[in-house]
Amino acid sequence: MKKFARYLLPFLFSTTANAADLPGFCQSIDHMGGRYTVCSFNPERSNIRLYQFDHVAGKPYGSFEALSSALWRQHSFVTFAMNGGMYHRDLSPVGLHIENGVEVSPISTSGGWGNFHMQPNGVFFMDGKTAGVLETSAYLNANKKPDFATQSGPMLVIDGKLHPRFLPDSDSLNTRNGVGVSGDGMVHFAISENAVRFYDFATLFRDRLHAPNALYLDGSISSIDIPAAKRRDWWHLLGPIIAVVEQVPD
């Protein structure tokens, strides 16, 4: 518990900076009573990566700030980041986590409680310069060997259809974030700025972002880092982090 509290302490004194203007890769979308920030990237041009454990510091990154500082020491900088999936109390991933082709945590096909186990769940992955989202069994059947991957759940959209358990009149409202890949290969990261239903969130990906497959990343811990907009959400500890990274120019 003391170790957990040590990670938490910096967040208690942090503030979130907001900017009215978003960079060109982001947009604000109003959809079915919700407002969303959506940031989209071409994986052929953007370096989309997954991070969880800082081997130099010997502990999980735990925050956007820690990741950004570590990458800066490696002459790289973050242009965008988002919490990248569910995790245990020690910030280790729940389910599959692959970094640089190394499987850090195995895929989970077991049952359980909570959103992760609301079947079907799925995997977001980067295979070279190609991104994808697949339902877990489809991912296994495809025998993928990606460079980066994270498993989460539930799936929001599966082959153009909404998750069968989502209800249009559900009273379960929460902040939510997720990722989808549209037919043109673009990767879309979305976070709600107010509490929304799963159903409404899923239709954002299907109907507005044209993503036939989309994956839920998490709820109340939903966080985003957009340095160009001077926005960094610091309200929660983070396990896996998805980041778009660029090299510092010589």
* pLDDT tens across the length of the chain (250 residues): 323 333 333 333 333 444 458 999 999 999 999 999 999 999 999 999 999 999 999 999 999 999 999 999 999 999 999 999 999 999 999 999 999 999 999 999 988 888 999 999 999 999 999 999 999 999 999 999 999 999 999 999 999 999 999 999 999 999 999 999 999 999 999 999 999 999 999 999 999 999 999 999 999 999 999 999 999 998 889 999 999 999 988 6
Query: Which secondary-structure segment (H or E) carries 157?
Result: strand 155-158
Q: What is the pLDDT of residue 107?
A: 98
Q: What values do phi and psi take at 161, rounded to 5?
A: -115, 145
* Angstrom distance (rounded) from CA 79 to CA 75: 13
The model's pLDDT over 91-147, given as tens digits with 9 standing for 90+, comes to: 999 999 999 999 999 999 988 888 999 999 999 999 999 999 999 999 999 999 999
Q: What is the pLDDT of residue 32?
A: 97
- 248: Cβ contacts below 8 Å, ≥ 6 apart: 72, 75, 76, 77
* Angstrom distance (rounded) from CA 31 to CA 109: 33
- 237: Cβ contacts below 8 Å, ≥ 6 apart: 7, 8, 11, 62, 63, 91, 221
- 148: Cβ contacts below 8 Å, ≥ 6 apart: 48, 49, 50, 98, 99, 100, 125, 126
Q: What is the pLDDT of residue 12?
A: 36
* Angstrom distance (rounded) from CA 250 to CA 240: 29
Q: How far is CA 250 from CA 74, 76, 78, 166, 246, in A?
A: 13, 11, 16, 49, 12
Nearest to 241 by CA among 41, 93, 24, 114: 93
Largest CA distance in the chain: 54
pTM of the model: 0.92
Number of helical (H) and strand (E) elements in the chain, helices listed first: 4, 19
Q: What is the pLDDT of residue 145?
A: 96
Q: What is the pLDDT of residue 249?
A: 81
